[in-house]
Amino acid sequence: MKKQIMQGNAAIARAASDAGVKVAAAYPGTPSSEILRDIANTYPEIFSEWAPNEKVALEVASGASFAGARALACMKHVGLNVAADPLMTLAYTGVKGGLVILVADDPYSHSSQNEQDSRHWTRFGKVPMLEPGDSQECYDFVKIAFDLSEQFDSLVLVRSETRVSHSDTVVEFGERVEPAEPAGLDRKEWQKYVMVPMNVRAARIKVEERIRKLEAFADEFKHNKMELKDTKIGFISSGVTYNYTKEIFPEWSSLKLGMVWPLPKKMIAEFFEKVEKVVIVEELDPFFETEIRAMGYKPFRGKDVIPVMYELSPDIIEKALKGNEYREPETRVKPEDLPRRPPNLCAGCSHRPLFYALNRLGAFVFGDIGCYTLAAAPPLSAIHTTVCMGAGVAQAHGAMKALGKEALGKVCSVLGDSTFLHNGLTPLMDIVYNKGNATTIVVDNRITAMTGQQEHPGTGFTIKGEPTYMVDYEQIGRALGVKSIRNVDPYNIAETMEVLKEEMDKDEPSLVLCVDAPCVLLRREKKQFEYTLYAIDEDKCRGCKICLNINCPAISWHEGAGESTDGHKRKGTVRINPDQCVGCRVCQQLCKFESIKPVKKSQ
Amino acid sequence: MNENEKVTNIFLSGVGGQGAILASNILAEVFLNSGYDVKKAEVHGMAQRGGEVTTHFRFGKKVYSPLIKHGDVDFLVSFELLEAIRYINWVKPEGRVIINNQMVFPPAVNLGLREYPKDVGETFKKYFKGNAYIINGQDIAKNLGSLQSANVVLVGALSSFFPGLKEELFLEAVKGLLASKLHDLNIKAFYEGKKAMERKD
């Protein structure tokens, strides 16, 4: 078979197909999002879907498993928290068709709200976990995970992380398993699947028996690999951390754990016997180290020198373990002196005028996870909390209950359309039910934007691009009991401010929907602006900088003392980059001196 | 003695939308098809929103880590001046540097709060005497008819450091990774990039 270079996530998708998966479900989350996209685009034999959240994704997959089909659920680390409820009980029911959860961690929190170590879920849930370290292992381990799932009647977790999911390394494919026809649902198996107390207690015994069997298996598992070279020092590691360690210490011995739970106890004992000094190199928490110390072994080095947070890398390991031998590179320029390049809302994004309006109103804004979180930074400075999906809706309610009437007009929550469907409906229902008065603003940009444009129940399309029923947010709001529902066009700042003020002042629950405001990168719903380009009339610009408050990437400040033609002294002028401007007209609404005008875009 | 010593490290940096990822995909195809082990890691979580994009690209007989060690870069290829100077300390003293002569202002510069670094090219020339190449990829690409092809101009420039690699592999990779209507343009861009290197020194 020809070797290919492939992203870890693409290799996972291919493995799902080659393992005969019939159903795959996910909610997008970096760094896991490409898996379901690739499955939907490349492997039509798999039924694939974007679920409204990870809990639903796992529940869909488990239903397929109970019917006897192999099924995959994919999510990022924080998504596994959402799916924890079914996870913990599916550990009891076991499976029929192989059931695998692919969870992708994000050490260093490149694009996440925390930096948790998903390995804890495997111990907590008493289910096995595999951890690949490159694309080849992504492919191999996902296939193995399905076999193990059926062999041990257990849900199996496969843990990837940013550096494995988003690295491209060489892969050779193995044999494809033809998917078996699902065995079907069997009513006689109700005691296995109905977790009422009587059945739970029986299943509880099975859970313990299973983990003991898996422990024994771990000692035989060929991807738990002992490489004995020079035995003065040996490293215990897993996943990409193994590759970093090999990079720095190719000459020493190594125990690479392909299965990170349960641990191969005999193998670990043997390693401690054969190797003089054992060093444990693991990313994030001292998961192996805690367990290995609890077995009675004393590692030579571990989290005493290896950082317990952020992402590891070869140079961090080298610095930690070689100390003085590590050669610091020459500092030619201090990078901290350079301007940073943080992500920013796109030119023409509909969130920019909305958050500008909220800033002007002085509102405290309970936010959510999505592109709009970027509005927290100055100069927009209009998001004041971000915890998890749906949290802001409930938090605004809680805060207003705590503050009483004095909070009226000052508090709201903002969340995106996908986020609203993920977990915003339940807290909105709560606000109505518990006689709250919070205002919930849904920025409907008609796509799951932050993770790279994935469909959801509000877009009218499935993962395959097939038209489907489109959720009507207004109807949902009414069904939940919200009486005050308003539509606004966020590109009209004055009108938006007026509506927001009215709704936030009301002593009742409000739902504000931003309409006709699709993501500007979304080609399908390309927003039509009256003009496609605006420009600065430099004769009129007074250099007041008000237009800079929206932080549009197309607008920049250019120093240079002078005066406008009407005789106003200025220290510089602004300019609009014609390559970036899309004509949203937001800046024009801010300019008091009529120096921003539409022009014809020359191609 | 150390098999890792044979690994070559190429670091690509740029701004979201400049095509750094595509450029690294072309390199991956070329070196894989030349018989090397290849690993590549990208950081582009929020790049669509104008953030930084970096790619670690490594090839050799056997590559373990997808990440390059700080200070171990053999070739720095940057699509933008600020994103070049940001990684200057990553390059080995004897490393080589190819920089696209383009400026994309980050928010703090747009807002007039920070200054865009001056004399980036000069700084590189000072530290990497004779090994720093500033390419007008933007102008070259513009002359060819599409700004988008500046990334392939840089790939062409980089290719001149690997005379042993078959040129057809680069052309095949361009054809394999781009839509057919873009083939001619990008193949020209590749050769223009190569030529731009000849003009130096």
Separation CA B88–CA A521 (nearest Å):
33
For A103-153, what is each residue's pLDDT tens digit? 999 999 988 999 999 999 999 999 999 999 999 999 999 999 999 999 999
Whether B106 sits inside 8 A of A315 (CB atoms) is no
Q: Which residues contact A63 (CB under 8 A, 6 or more apart)?
A: A71
**Which tokens belong to A297?**
């072994």
**Which tokens belong to A382?**
């209009």
Is pLDDT above 80 for B49?
no
**Which tokens belong to B31?**
């070196």
User: What is the DSSP annotation of chain B?
Assistant: --GGGG-EEEEEEEETTSSHHHHHHHHHHHHHHTT-EEEEEEE-TTGGGT-EEEEEEEEESS---SSPPTT-EEEEEESSHHHHHTTGGGEEEEEEEEEE------HHHHTTSSPPPS-HHHHHHHHSTTTEEEE-HHHHHHHHT-GGGHHHHHHHHHHTT-TTS-HHHHHHHHHHHS-GGGHHHHHHHHHHHHHHHHH--
> According to the model, what pLDDT value does residue B143 have?
93
> According to the model, what pLDDT value does residue B45 have?
55
Whether A341 sits inside 8 A of B52 (CB atoms) is yes
Q: Which residue has the tokens 């070279």?
A: A229
Separation CA A433–CA A400 (nearest Å):
15
Separation CA A306–CA A316 (nearest Å):
8
Nearest residue to A432 (alpha-carbon basis) of A486, A393, A487: A393
Asked if A1 reaches chain B (Cβ–Cβ under 8 Å), the answer is no
> According to the model, what pLDDT value does residue A209 have?
98
Asked if A187 reaches chain B (Cβ–Cβ under 8 Å), the answer is no
Q: Name the pTM for this structure.
A: 0.95
Whether B71 sits inside 8 A of A315 (CB atoms) is yes
User: How many CA within 13 A on the CB side of residue A484?
Assistant: 20
> Amino acid identity, residue A290?
T
Name the pLDDT band for B148 (thresholds 50, 70, 90): confident
Whether B50 sits inside 8 A of A553 (CB atoms) is yes
At A486, is the secondary structure helix, strand, or coil?
A: strand
**Which tokens belong to B150?**
């500046």
Q: Which of residues 210-249 of A touch B (CB under 8 A)?
A: 240, 243-244, 246-247
- Residues in A closer than 8 angstroms to B17, CB to CB, are none
Separation CA A401–CA A424 (nearest Å):
18
Name the pLDDT band for B46 (thresholds 50, 70, 90): low
**Which tokens belong to A159?**
């843990």
Whether B66 sits inside 8 A of A340 (CB atoms) is no
> According to the model, what pLDDT value does residue A328 have?
87
Q: 10 Å Cβ neighbour count for A569?
A: 10
Nearest CB partner across the interface for B64, out of A4, A31, A246: A246
* pLDDT mean values, one per 10 residues, chain A (603 residues): 92 98 97 97 97 98 98 98 98 98 96 96 98 98 98 98 97 92 94 97 98 98 98 98 97 98 98 98 98 98 97 95 89 94 93 98 97 94 97 97 96 98 98 98 96 96 97 98 98 98 98 96 92 95 96 95 93 94 97 94 60
Is pLDDT above 80 for B43?
no
> According to the model, what pLDDT value does residue A125 have?
98
> According to the model, what pLDDT value does residue B44 have?
63
Average pLDDT, chain B: 92
User: Between the CA of residue A397 and those of A251, A446, B61, what are the distances in Å?
Assistant: 59, 25, 60
Q: Which of residues 73-92 of B touch A (CB under 8 A)?
A: 82-83, 85-90
H/E element, A531: none
Let me know if A516 is exposed, middle or buried by CB neighbors in 10 A (0-12, 13-18, 19+): middle
Whether B106 sits inside 8 A of A314 (CB atoms) is no
> According to the model, what pLDDT value does residue A176 have?
93
> According to the model, what pLDDT value does residue A372 have?
93
Separation CA A547–CA A5 (nearest Å):
46
**Which tokens belong to B148?**
């988008």
At A116, is the secondary structure helix, strand, or coil?
A: coil
Is pLDDT above 50 for B201?
no
User: Between the CA of residue B183 and those of A240, A292, B28, B149, B167, what are the distances in Å?
Assistant: 36, 56, 18, 10, 15
Average pLDDT, chain A: 96
Nearest residue to A437 (alpha-carbon basis) of A469, A483, A468: A483
Q: 10 Å Cβ neighbour count for B130?
A: 9
Q: Which residue has the tokens 């696209």?
A: B100
- Residues in B closer than 8 angstroms to A340, CB to CB, are 106, 108
User: How many CA within 13 A on the CB side of residue A10?
Assistant: 14
Separation CA A369–CA A172 (nearest Å):
37
- Residues in B closer than 8 angstroms to A111, CB to CB, are 45-46
8 A C-beta contact, residue A487 and residue A477 = no
Nearest residue to A581 (alpha-carbon basis) of A494, A516, A520: A520
The 3 state secondary structure assigned to B97-133 is: EEEECCCCCCHHHHCCCCCCCCCHHHHHHHHCCCCEE
Mark B57-96 as b/e (b = at least 16 C-beta within 10 Å).
bbbbeebbbbbbbbbbbbbbbbbbbbbbbbbbbbbbeebb
- Residues in A closer than 8 angstroms to B87, CB to CB, are 335
Is pLDDT above 50 for B4?
no
Separation CA B115–CA B100 (nearest Å):
19
Whether B71 sits inside 8 A of A330 (CB atoms) is yes
Whether A332 sits inside 8 A of B39 (CB atoms) is no
ipTM above 0.90, yes or no: yes
